[in-house]
């Protein structure tokens, strides 16, 4: 059996994935714009001046990491289901020391 490299190990480390996501300015912007109020993807894109495809990609990643949740659904006039996303965290703290960083998340 081959020994895994550091990079291969971090691919499965959820803490590392969350840290990398929080280090991304676009992911942070999306995450922290939905702390106080749930918003749909189009509203987030408009508020943050991002493309809708970028917002959907970020929302998918944040949802997979359970940093956000769907707060409610609405049906548009055209009959489409619209998801309203809300952040599950209101604060994040990353402590770097030793071999492994520590991540502290405060619930929203």
The structure tokens listed for 106 are 């405060």
Q: What pLDDT score was predicted for residue 59?
A: 97
What is the model's pTM?
A: 0.80
Q: What pLDDT score was predicted for residue 2?
A: 55
Q: Distances in Å between the alpha carbon of 5 and those of 65, 88, 102?
A: 23, 32, 21
For the chain, the domains span 6-107
Distance in angstroms (rounded) separating the CA atoms of residues 36 and 32: 8
Distance in angstroms (rounded) separating the CA atoms of residues 10 and 104: 18
Per-residue pLDDT of the chain (108 residues; tens, 9 = 90+): 455 555 555 555 788 889 889 999 999 999 999 999 999 999 999 999 999 999 999 999 999 999 999 999 999 889 999 999 999 999 998 888 777 778 888 888
Q: What is the CATH number assigned to the segment(s) 6-107? A: 1.10.10.10
How far, in whole angstroms, is CA 75 from its chain's centroid?
24
Q: What pLDDT score was predicted for residue 7?
A: 53
Secondary structure (H, E, C), the chain: CCCCCHHHHHCCCHHHHHHHHHHCHHHHHHHHHCCCCCECHHHHHHHHCCCHHHHHHHHHHHHHCCCEEEEEEEECCCCCEEEEEEECEEEEEEECCCCCCEEEEEEC
Q: What pLDDT score was predicted for residue 108?
A: 87
């Amino acid at each position: 059996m081959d020994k895994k490299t550091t990079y291969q190990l971090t691919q499965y480390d959820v803490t590392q994935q969350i840290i990398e996501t929080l280090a991304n300015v676009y992911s942070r912007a999306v995450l922290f714009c939905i702390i106080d109020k749930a918003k749909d993807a189009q509203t987030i894109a408009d508020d943050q001046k991002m493309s809708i495809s970028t917002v959907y990609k970020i929302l998918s990643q944040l949802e997979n990491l359970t940093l956000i949740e769907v707060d409610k659904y609405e049906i548009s006039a055209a009959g489409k289901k619209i998801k309203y996303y809300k952040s599950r965290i209101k604060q994040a703290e990353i402590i770097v020391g030793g071999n492994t960083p520590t991540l502290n998340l405060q619930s929203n």
